[in-house]
Amino acid sequence: MATPAQEDTIQEVKEIFRNYLKKNSHRQTPERFMVLEEIYRTDGHFDADDMYFQMKNTGYRVSRATVYNTLDLLVECNLVQRHQFRQNQSYYERAYAYRQHDHIICDTCGAVLEFCDPRIGEIQAMIEKIHDFSITGHSLHFYGSCQDPEICTRKPDLKKKD
C-alpha cells in the first residue's frame, strides 16, 4: 500500500505523463498508466523484465512490449532515468521528486549502492560558475569491487540502497 506522499507523487507524475502523451500525440492507455504507477510504487533499480514479471505476478494484464515502450516514453519525459552500469542491459529508476544521488557498482557481483554527497553539488556549482554554464543534471558512477567477500558473493541485488 502506498503512503499518502507516494499517492500525491503518483498523481503528479500521472498528470505530467498525461500532458506529455497529449503534446506528442501518443495514446493515453490504461496500461501505460499502470506501468507508471507500478514504477512509482517500486524502490530501487529494475530492468524492464523485472517490471514486467512484477506486474504479471501482481495480476496486471500488460504485455512485455507495453512495459518496454512505456519505459522509453517515461525516459523521454524525464519521469524515469535509464542507467547502463557497464552492462548491455538497461536499468531504470524513478526520477521525479527523487533526491539527486550517485552510484557505486561492484564489477564482481553487480550490487548497486546509492549515495549522496553534498560536495558533488558544490563541485557542480563551481563548474557552472567557472565555465559560465547552466548544468541541468549529472550522472556519476563509481566502479570497483565489494571489500567484504561475503557481501560480494551474494546474488546481485540491483534494488539495494544505502
Q: Percentage of the chain with pLDDT > 70?
A: 88
- Could you tell me if 105 and 111 are in contact, meaning their C-beta atoms sit under 8 angstroms apart? yes
Mean pLDDT of the chain: 85
Which cell goes with 50?
523485472
4-94, what's its fold? Arc Repressor Mutant, subunit A (1.10.10)
Residue 67 CA to residue 31 CA, distance in Å, equals 9
Domain boundaries defined on the chain: 4-94, 102-152
More confident residue, 92 or 5: 92
The residue type of 88 is N
pLDDT tens digits, 131-162: 999 988 777 888 888 887 776 655 444 444 33
The CA-CA-CA angle for residues 82, 88, 93, to 5°, reads: 20
34 has pLDDT over 60: yes
Give the rounded distance of the alpha carbon of 63 from its chain centre.
Answer: 20
pTM over 0.85: no
Q: Which of 108, 115, 117, 116 is nearest to 146 (CA)?
A: 108
pLDDT tens digits, 81-100: 888 776 677 889 888 877 77
102-152, what's its fold? Dna Ligase; domain 1 (3.30.1490)
Element (H, E) at 80: strand 80-83
